[in-house]
Amino acid sequence: MWRDLLPIGRDRDSGGYHRHAWTGADAECRAWFRAQAGTRGLTLETDRNGNQWAWLGDPHGTDAVVTGSHLDSVPDGGAFDGPLGVVSSFAALDELRGRGAAFTKPLAIVNFVDEEGARFGLACVGSRLTAGQLTREKAYELEDADGVSLPHAMERAGLDPAAIGPDPERLARVGAFVELHIEQGRALDRTGHRVGVASAIWPHGRWRFDFRGEANHAGTTRLADRRDPMLGYAETVLAARREAELAGALATFGKVSVQPGGVNAIPSLVRGWLDSRAADQDTLDTMVAAIERAARERAERDGVGLTVVRESFTPVVEFGHALRDELTRILGGAPVLPTGAGHDAGILSASVPTAMLFVRNPTGVSHSPAESAAEDDCVAGVHALADVLEALACG
């Protein structure tokens, strides 16, 4: 399975992945998922929001046990973030069948669409829509960098965008959701364990900063006459770093666009996206407010306009202790750790009992082509997931 997935959407030079929602690479990943379901005799369903479900047992049964993750990537992402969870789910099912496990509950493997939000700017679109945390109206407003709207992209991929929306009946049939994921840090590595259980996800969000100035000639405009939005942006990047350090939190400008984008022109618009995360809501709010204050002060000084829009937000997620403790017990005392990374599991946890397993990441690197995990650790993850699914679905 891993070998089949590896070439899809991979950049030949960097080795990183570009599997953005509803692109050709995403379609190939989805075809791969369909084929894996078919090989195993599972019933494939694509829900109203484009998430794929592969069912063993009755798709309309209740108290289903669901596992899976996502197959899309960030720009130039690693091979493991997402796919490890989906591949491990199929592998765990194979292992359970090999053990002769007798399933007493329906089991599904899910591929949530557009987890990373790399194309339309909002993360976890598939799970948010299904869980009713993103309205159809808001989803219809999402556009990619080329101005292609989300509904249009879905339509091109053969889906009916008029159907998208919350799916409470589907979620009501789910008794438990367990997502396996590569750890995106080194906390597990420091414990010496291969597999851990998630405790919580930090609150996090994305804010768009638009600095609007005046385009002008780089060779003839006196410094005193400029309204250069790049200065406010630069100052804000430094403020974000400073405030994050003070707060013991995280703030990142990882994406910026400049208009008109000429080497010899003062920009008219600098648009930067802030990704901010902290252990608690107060710290996050205070930090983002301080960054915005610094941006406004500088923008005013330069005669530059500033608008700040919060494009997405995910409150803190504390995974339910009952399921989390059960997983820890099944795995013989696996370490329990929090993460700053967002996941579909975090979105679903508001609607269904949800837990996560993390597989050791020896370098901690993620959202990068250098992301890696040892094969033995991945196999340990499959065994752990199989143990968990057996306990939950064969009990």
Using the minimum distance from each CB to ligand HGY, give the nearer residue, 42 or 123.
Answer: 123
- Examine residue 72 and tell whether it contacts ligand HGY (CB under 6 A): no
CB 334 within 8 A of CB 193: yes
Residue 305 has phi, psi (to 5 degrees) of -80, 150
CB 34 within 8 A of CB 28: no
Rounded CA separation 211/352 (Å): 41
Using the minimum distance from each CB to ligand HGY, give the nearer residue, 64 or 182.
Answer: 182
Using the minimum distance from each CB to ligand HGY, give the nearer residue, 162 or 370.
Answer: 370
Q: Give me the least distance between CB of 115 and ligand HGY, in Å please.
A: 6
Q: Give me the least distance between CB of 125 and ligand HGY, in Å please.
A: 11
- Please state, as a whole number, how many other Cβ atoms lie within 10 Å of the Cβ of residue 354: 25
- Examine residue 77 and tell whether it contacts ligand HGY (CB under 6 A): no
Using the rule CB under 5 A, give the single segment among 78-86, 100-108, 169-177, 238-246 that binds Mn ion.
78-86
Q: Of these partners, ligand HGY, Mn ion, none, which one is at the site of residue 342 (CB under 5 to 8 Å by kind)?
A: ligand HGY
117-150 burial by CB neighbour count: b if 16+ within 10 A, else e?
bbbbbbbbbbbbbbbebbebeebeebebeeeebb
Which residues inside 332-351 make contact with ligand HGY, applying CB under 6 A? Answer: 341-342
Amino acid at 332: G
- Examine residue 123 and tell whether it contacts ligand HGY (CB under 6 A): yes
Q: Of these partners, ligand HGY, Mn ion, none, which one is at the site of residue 123 (CB under 5 to 8 Å by kind)?
A: ligand HGY
Q: Of these partners, Mn ion, ligand HGY, none, which one is at the site of residue 126 (CB under 5 to 8 Å by kind)?
A: none
Q: Give me the least distance between CB of 314 and Mn ion, in Å please.
A: 13
Copy the structure tokens of residue 21.
Answer: 């929602």
- Examine residue 229 and tell whether it contacts Mn ion (CB under 5 A): no
Rounded CA separation 66/29 (Å): 20
Using the minimum distance from each CB to Mn ion, give the nearer residue, 199 or 366.
Answer: 366
Nearest to Mn ion by Cβ — which residue? 81
How far is Cα of residue 120 from the mean position of the Cα atoms in its chain? 12
- Examine residue 229 and tell whether it contacts ligand HGY (CB under 6 A): no
Nearest alpha-carbon partner for 43 in 19, 24, 61: 61
Question: 157: number of CA atoms within 13 Å, CB side?
Answer: 26
Using the minimum distance from each CB to Mn ion, give the nearer residue, 233 or 253.
Answer: 253
Nearest alpha-carbon partner for 267 in 317, 235, 233, 292: 233
- Examine residue 356 and tell whether it contacts ligand HGY (CB under 6 A): no
Using the rule CB under 5 A, give the single segment among 73-81, 195-203, 245-253, 356-364 that binds Mn ion.
73-81
Residues that bind ligand HGY (CB under 6 A): 115-116, 123, 341-342
